[in-house]
Structure 1
Amino acid sequence: MNGAATHGEHGTGTRGQDGQGWRYLLDEGTDPAGRIPVHAVQGSWPPGPDAAHRPNPRHRRPLPDPVPADAPPPGLPPLGAGRRPAGRALLSWLEDTRGPRLCRVAGSSGSGRTHLLTWLAAACPPDHPRPGRRVHALLDVEGLTVRSAATRLADLLGLTAGNPADLLEALQDGTPRTVVVTDLDRAGGPGLPGTPERLVRELLAPLLSVPWLLLVVEAAHGPAADLLTAAAPGGAVLDLDQPQWTDPAQYAAWCARLTGHQVDPATTHPSPGLAQLAARTPGAVLDPARTPAERATALADAWWAALPEAERRALQALSTADGPLSTDLWATLPGAGGERTVKSAADLLPPPPMADRWRLRPDELAERVAADRPPVDHAAMMWEVAGGIPVRADGGPDLAASDPERLALLLRHASAGDPASPMLDELDLLLHAEPATVTAAFQRAEDAGAPRTPLAEAWRLAAPDRAALARPADRAAVLHAWLTGRDAESAAHCARLAEARWHTVWNRPAAGPCMTALGVGPLAGRLLLADGASLHVCDPANGEPASPAAPLTLRHPRALTATAFGGALLLDASGALQSVTVDGAVGAPAGALETLGPVTALAGHHDALVLGLSDGRTTHSTLATGLSHCPETPLHEGPVTALGVTDADGGTLVVSGGEDGRVWTWMPGRPPLPAPVDRRPHAVTAAALGATPAGLLLAAAWSDGLLRLRRWGDRHRGADIRLGAPVRSLAVTPDGLVVAALPEAVLALTLVDRGSPG
């Protein structure tokens, strides 16, 4: 494997100094091109010229490993086709603490790149006892856009993001991760040419700047691979077309076990895909002196010439799909010949990487079949595919009863025939089709210059390419949230389909990162909203501004709170507090904040401030008297990341969330509860409490995008909500509205009883 990184004394410096991405300040002597431990990073700056420095709380504090060192290591899964040398090379790269952060797995189509990386992920689970043998995400980007790839990767990592910028922000938590990306060259599919290159520029290259992240990418030699090399010139390359990565004896033994025609391993080495196709081709004669791609072309010609006419037509039908198909759907395509012919044709193909997801492979075979068929009539195909949709009693199409794969194929042909197809306005179709196909269709319309519709904008913000939104009802619930204020009719339709325990009351879009807090003192009964450039005092019932906006100079706030003085306080990512003047009133008197020191979370209540610290402690300080209360022992392991406070039971009730995923409640002057009220394996990003007409309401959000609303003392009355973006801050109004601030909007939600009108 070539491309070892160079090492040396580089001195203190930054990584990513072009100003376009995240920048990092490294310890003296750290190689910016190599592996960078989290504790060697002093801090970072977000993109932009006015970004504030973020100190790294883990600087010079090596991370404890949550996996017991004495845990038995899992055995390596079998790796066939003689690929053990390639597998050992990848394991060595993973464990090389001085190696480059990128490894590209190259080779011709059929060389076994995807199979090898799937094996690597299985051999290196995230909880492997050896830290150097952990893969945290295996992302297949075939057919994905940049947005859907970012969304799915965040989902696999236990984060939430609707675009690469959100994902990069979420990855600043300092957690070491290894990400494996397969099928880069098939990103976007035939309908979105250039997507592999876009994926490198907009997602993978920025990921390579994150010091504690390793990236393994499957990409053949070509434009996307060249962009990867430019982003990481010292990256390693494992080219599976090179014979040293395949053991000849093991490869020959594997070829001997293939069913079908006898394969001469010397003529197909080192390509498993070539051998599988040769086993299905009678009388195949290959020249081992030619390249694997040249041999694949010659073999595809011989294979095609030997096929019966019925199977040829079935395979031509498969080639029109622009993506993998199940045998059931394949058998219904025009010209496929039905179930029996399709089964016979499938037996003539190399086995698919995923069970019953057929496509023509290797690429040379797909090109040969496509060259021998007439051009695809997408309009005719659209109507043929639509003919397989069940019909309701009233004669209309029953999309809910249809196969999501069929609806996706219908949408692919509609989009190929007309990028701005009216089918993109068919809400029920989008709710029941495979989400990645819908995202790609919207991307195709955008690239063609079509105006972005309210539904397209709601789909983008909902980021439905996630496992949690696999059910159409869950997808309808989150689309309802983002259609509110954009398309009332579609929003109401989604609400009816979702039958959710929650409802969106209003939606206020914003142009920057949003924060929210309830007003106190002179601002009691109002809602504070910060949108990145201004602070607005709003009516909580509808989110409309009630007074002129106050300008903000802090561009990347972490928390916002109102104070008894009539103004507000902002907490930035460095832990510093800034006073904000609202309608002439200051957030804090001069000098009042200087003694507080750096904090990690903030909440205000009457004339008190609640502060969270990096060591897991929380304090409640009354400004008028100077009295402070703090639980005797820290409630959290690691920094406090979110705080909320309200009146309850004749006193003050505080809720705190931490990087450890725990949510605690406590009252000043009283001992805390014996256990947290909630816990999840993800960092808490926001928390709030409120006394409402229906009782005390607790809201908490975690880094994987889950927002949980619960009535106090009743675990069965509430809702788990995923809005498609990280919730940055929360507020609960006295009327029971939960106001959630996200990167591009502020939403007001309410819990509803099942069966009540939404």
Structure 2
Amino acid sequence: MGMTGQGHAIPPLRAGRRPAGAALLGWLDDDRAPRLCRIAGAPGSGKTHLLEWLVQACGGEGAPERRRLHAVVPADGTSVRGVVWALGRRLGVVARTPGDLLSALAESDGRTVVCLPGLNRAADPARLVAELLDPLLRLPRIRLIVEAPEGSPGALGLTAVEQPAVLDLDLPQWTDQARYQHWCAGLNADSAGYPSPGAALGHTRPEAPVTVAQLAARVPRRGDGGLDPTTADERVLSELWTATTREGGTVGLLADPAMLTCAGPVAVTAALEDIGGPIPAAWDAAGPALIAEPDPGVRATLLRTRLIGLDDRAAERLATVPAPWRGAWALWPNSSIGWPGPVASLALGAGAYAGQLLLADPGGTIRTVQAETGVPLARVATPGPEPLRALAVTADGEVLLLDASGGLEAVPAPGGTAEQPSATAGPLDALRGAAEGGLSALATVPGLPGSAPAVADESGSVHWYQDGTVLTERLHTGPVTALAGAVVDGRPVLVCGGFDGTVRAWWPGTAPQAEPSARRQGPVNAVAAAGTPAGLVLAAAWADGLVRISAPHRSEPLDLRLGSQVWALTLADGRLVLGTSDGIAAIEY
């Protein structure tokens, strides 16, 4: 269609639909327009084509802010949970329920434009409207574009909150007849179908749904005669889940967990919406990570990690699937091993705590588990508990606590007493004095005996104590939100993450690197670091749930998600341990 005033290219819109395209762009531009726009029309009227064009025109970062689509989620076959998870993924928040998503969006300062093609083809359009779309429209900064024909369940429910602007493609004013005829001539199509492109091409007849029996016949069989999902076409398995849900008997498909991980996650999510049991519960817990994961191997290892301690037989059946990472142990709610609750802070033990991990919950209660197996051990006696920003363990087993208000306290190693002088007292006083703002992060450097802790502050600076002197470097714009230490080639290195979304590595006493080790949108929740003979291993977790691991043995960073926010990280004996809002898991990478 040309260029906007800001120089943004608008792709051509075929079949004479320029009036409809101009109307959509005008709706995006007009703050006085209804916040809901509904695209209507009979099958073949070009609704899908129009919305695909809109996504091309306004879905990228280069689109003008006033016209930008922030999230596009096709509703075909989706359930309420599936749409929530997909929207959260696209908007950079971890959301399991409509309430989670609504709470996150309510805190947003700018407007958010969401496009939902195929509302009438959702698993339950009326339920999707009632439980998610209507509540979204009650948020003043949300604008919503949906595809829903006149009289459909989705269209009827959407009027509850706001009367929509309706773009009905069956009406001729939205199609330039001369351009339509020219388009038909180029394709040798029947221009008598005006204004419907589908009628011109003869594509208006709906297809009859395929039955479970027909779909099952298209799935390869194992030697024992059972279905073999590992060699089946993903689309066929997805259609099988959808058809089985429609005809009944979904529970039977749960006997083989590979039936879930080899099918498309949207179809599986819709099928499991109201089914209980360990496997559906694990799928629900991992859902925000599963919903957009294209690799069946990653879906399998993710579901397996969520099943550890809950359904070990099902987890074992997924253990042989090749994947770039693998869960070693995990502690989730109702785990047969034990459950520490949400893990807000995490530290690798030393001294009397050697071979252990220290876990702090959001209230500040600290527990220990075996680093190798995750088996719970004991509770650490502390003056609190009170909410912590971080905890760390010195080489001699002293536990350092940084509380939510920035206060720093040392808990003696087991067998020690509060009256005994702390080896860290003097360095900690010096570090406190060097901070330019409130303390915001804390770390020790494993493998460097006698070293003092490192701290970071809300001004963006990191502080290291060495030979009676504090070395300081400002590494972030805004607060430092995470800090870790390691030894590489005998030298300490500090890795920090910030509210600015960057991750940086700093060797105290040298100039910082010009470019960050990683940069993404959103705050960094946690970092971890470890030295190896080959170099530095670095891991970081952002607020949207993504964890990135950079290691010398990997040519590219490894990205993974568990379906929860990751609040804490540590590296222990070649494994990455993740403290989450649900529990804790150790993975091999």
Distance 1:613 1:209 in 2: 35
C-alpha distance after superposition, 1:637-657 (max 9, x if no partner): 555443222455555421112
1:118: Cα distance to partner? Answer: 2.1
Q: Deviations over 1:688-716 (max 9, x none)?
A: 113579975321224554323343x4444
Please name the residue that 1:508 is paired with: 332
Query: Which amino acid in the other structure matches residue 148 of structure 1?
Result: G
Give the aligned partner of residue 629 of structure 1. 471
Q: 3-state SS of the aligned residue for 1:492?
A: helix
Given that 1:101 and 1:208 are in contact with CA atoms closer than 8 Å, whether structure 2 keeps it comes out as: no
Answering whether residue 458 of structure 2 is matched by residue 613 of structure 1, we say yes
SS of aligned partner of 2:272: helix
Matched position secondary structure for 1:748? strand
Query: CA separation in 2, counterparts of 1:599 and 1:220?
Result: 56
Distance 1:101 1:179 in 2: 14
What letter corresponds to residue 77 of structure 1 in structure 2?
Answer: P
The one of 186, 196, 211 aligned to 1:272: 196
For residues 266-345 of structure 1, the aligned pairs below 5 Å read 272=196, 276-277=198-199
In structure 1, distance between residues paired with 2:189 and 2:7: 41
Counterpart of 2:21?
87
In 2, the alpha carbon distance for the partners of 1:204 and 1:553 equals 39
**Aligned to 1:630, what secondary structure does the other structure show?**
strand
- For 1:272, the aligned partner's letter is S
Report the AA paired with residue 722 of structure 1.
R
Q: Which residue of 2 aligns with 1:546?
A: 378
Look up the equivalent residue of 1:568 and give its one-letter code: L
Q: How far is 1:457 from its partner? A: 1.8
Q: 1:523 to 1:250 in 2, by over 3 A?
A: farther
Q: Say which of 65, 81, 90 aligns to 1:131.
A: 65
Consecutive unaligned residues in structure 1, runs of 5 or more: 1-68, 189-194, 266-270, 281-347, 351-359, 371-375, 752-758
| Residues in 2 aligned to 1:147 and 1:349: alpha-carbon distance in whole angstroms | 32
Distance 1:669 1:164, change over 3 A: farther
CA distance in 1, matches of 2:250, 2:410: 48
- Compute the displacement of 1:260 (Å): 6.2
CA distance change for structure 1 residues 95 and 672 in 2, over 3 Å: closer, same or farther?
A: same
Report SS of the residue matched to 1:740. strand
Match of 1:183 in 2: 118
Indicate if the aligned counterparts of 2:391 and 2:399 stay in contact, CA closer than 8 A: no
Aligned pairs for 1:167-316 within 5 A: 167=101, 177-188=112-123, 195-205=124-134, 207-208=136-137, 214-220=143-149, 224-225=154-155, 228-231=158-161, 233=162, 237-240=165-168, 243=171, 245-247=173-175, 249-250=177-178, 253=181, 257=185, 263=192, 265=194, 272=196, 276-277=198-199
Distance in 1 between residues matched to 2:457 and 2:68, nearest whole Å: 32
Instruction: Determine the C-alpha separation between the residues in 2 that align with 1:264 and 1:496.
Output: 54
Which residue does the alignment assign to 2:401?
Answer: 568
Following the alignment from structure 2 to structure 1, what is the Cα–Cα distance between the partners of residues 363 and 521? 33
- 1:10 is aligned to none
Task: Name 1:48's counterpart in structure 2.
Answer: none
Mapping of residues 301-700 of structure 1, within 5 Å? 349-350=203-204, 360-361=205-206, 381-392=211-222, 395-443=225-273, 446=274, 450=275, 452-463=276-287, 469-509=293-333, 514-518=343-347, 524-525=353-354, 526-532=356-362, 535-541=365-371, 542-547=374-379, 559-562=389-392, 566=399, 568-571=401-404, 576-577=405-406, 601-605=440-444, 608-613=453-458, 617-620=460-463, 628-631=470-473, 634-637=474-477, 640-650=480-490, 652-680=492-520, 684-691=524-531, 696-700=536-540
Q: Does the residue aligned with 2:548 lie in a helix, a strand or coil?
A: strand
Q: Deviations over 1:550-591 (max 9, x none)?
A: 88675xx7x4324777463344xxxx4367998998xx99x9
The one-letter amino acid paired with 2:116 is: V
Rate the CA distance shift 1:259–1:682 in 2: closer, same or farther, 3 A. farther
CA, structure 1 residues 386+698, in 2 after alignment: closer, same or farther (shift >3 Å)?
Answer: same
Over 3 Å counting, the alpha-carbon distance change for 1:731 and 1:251 in structure 2 is same
Counterpart in 1 of 2:569? 730
Q: Are 1:103 and 2:31 matched, yes or no?
A: no
Question: Paired residue for 2:447?
Answer: none
Query: Under a length normalisation based on structure 2, what TM-score does the superposition of the two structures give?
Result: 0.78
- Residue 724 of structure 1: CA displacement? 2.7
**Deviation string for 1:471-507 (max 9, x for gaps)?**
2212111112111111222222222112544442233
Residue type matched to 2:146 in 1?
A: V
More strand by share: 2
| Aligned residues: CA RMSD | 4.4
> Alpha-carbon deviations, 1:601-642, whole Å to 9, x = none?
52233753522436xx222265997x64322xx434555443
SS in 2 for 1:546: strand
Q: Give, in angstroms, the shift of residue 383 of structure 1.
A: 3.5
Supply the distance in 2 between the matched residues of 1:228 and 1:389 (Cα, whole angstroms).
Answer: 39
Secondary structure at 1:388's aligned position in 2? coil
TM-score by length of 1: 0.62
Change (3 A) 1:140 1:456: same
Q: Partner residue of 1:747?
A: 585
User: Is the CA contact 1:636–1:660 (under 8 Å) kept in the aligned structure 2?
Assistant: yes
**1:51-88 per-position Cα deviation (integer Å, ceiling 9, x unaligned):** xxxxxxxxxxxxxxxxxx998421x2233454333322
Give the superposition deviation at 1:349: 3.2
Q: CA deviation at 1:442?
A: 1.0
CA distance in 2, matches of 1:399, 1:519: 40
Residues 406 and 502 of structure 1, relative CA distance in 2, 3 Å threshold: closer
1:619–1:628 CA contact under 8 A, matched in 2:
no
- 1:720, CA displacement in angstroms? 3.6
- CA distance in structure 1 between the partners assigned to 2:458 and 2:249 by the alignment: 52
Q: Distance in 2 between matches of 1:176 and 1:649?
A: 49
Asked if 2 retains the 8 angstrom alpha-carbon contact of 1:435 and 1:465, the reply is no
The answer as to whether partners of 1:152 and 1:465 remain within 8 angstroms in 2 is no
Q: For residues 481 and 292 of structure 2, what CA distance do their matches in structure 1 show? A: 24
**Superposition deviation, residue 141 in structure 1:** 0.9
Distance in 1, matches of 2:499 and 2:132, equals 26
Deviation of 1:207 (Å): 4.4
Check whether the contact 1:740–1:748 (CA below 8 A) recurs between aligned residues: yes
SS of corresponding position for 1:728: strand
Q: Distance in 2 between matches of 1:78 and 1:569?
A: 57
Distance (whole Å) between structure 2 residues aligned to residue 154 and residue 750 of structure 1: 27
* 1:436 CA drift (Å): 1.6
Counterpart-to-counterpart distance in 2, 1:520 and 1:705:
25
Change (3 A) 1:246 1:170: same
CA distance in 2, matches of 1:141, 1:706: 24
CA distance in 1, matches of 2:343, 2:370: 15
Match of 2:51 in 1: 117
Number of residue pairs matched by the alignment: 554
Report the CA distance between 1:549 and its aligned residue. Answer: 8.7
Q: Which runs of 5+ in 2 are unaligned?
A: 334-338, 419-423, 445-450
| 3-state SS of paired residue (1:423) | helix
CA deviation vs aligned residue, 1:201-229 (integer Å, no higher than 9, x gap) = 44435545667654323344666456555
Identity of aligned residues (%): 31
CA contact (8 A) 2:365 2:386 kept: no
Could you tell me which residue of structure 2 aligns to residue 77 of structure 1?
Answer: 11
| Preserved contact between residue 357 and residue 368 of structure 2 (Cα < 8 Å) | yes
Aligned AA (1:349): H
Asked whether the 8 Å contact 1:414–1:421 carries over to 2, the reply is no
1:581 & 1:227 partners in 2: Cα distance?
Answer: 58
Secondary structure in structure 1 of the residue aligned to 2:539: strand
